[in-house]
Amino acid sequence: MIFIIVVIVFLLDRLTKFFITKNLLVSQSVPLVKGVLYFTLVHNRGAAFGILKNQVPLFILTSAIAVVLIYLNLKRNKKRGLSVYNFSLSLILAGALGNLADRFTLGYVIDFIDLRIWPVFNIADAAITIGAILLGYSILRPTKQGQG
């Protein structure tokens, strides 16, 4: 199940980026819900919020290390099944792979989801963010007596 989640999120990220790049020019914006949600094509050469611009080798290296560590953690914990912990790591892994594929092939990340109150992002970014929130929840939630 973990593998399926990673593949689905990764493919959704790749397909949406392909669709956007074939239909929009850089900086072009199309309203989906006027005043709320737009598709705006951005080439992000930095990290989150565009920080550390043009540090592609650093981003590729750190992303590759993160992917390996998350994969090893999931492999070690596969007997736990689809726990919140494993689900969160699956989302983070898929998102990291999606953005890593962009950086490795293009030298930047394709972003396009524009809420106008937040920096433009993509499906991979959303998966990483949701995964990080769920990971925090799974680590911080109280465990029931008798569970490990």
Which of 13, 102, 111, 114 does the annotation list as catalytic? Answer: 111
- The three-state secondary structure class of 24 is coil
Write out the E strands in the chain.
29-33, 37-44, 109-114
Backbone angles phi, psi at 115, to 5 degrees: -95, 0
What residue type is assigned to position 86 of the chain?
Answer: N
**CA pair distance 37, 30, nearest whole angstrom:** 9
- Say whether 13 is catalytic: no
Which of 13, 102, 114, 125 does the annotation list as catalytic? Answer: 125
- Say whether 114 is catalytic: no
Backbone angles phi, psi at 42, to 5 degrees: -130, 140
**CA pair distance 30, 111, nearest whole angstrom:** 14
**Residues acting as catalytic residues:** 111, 125
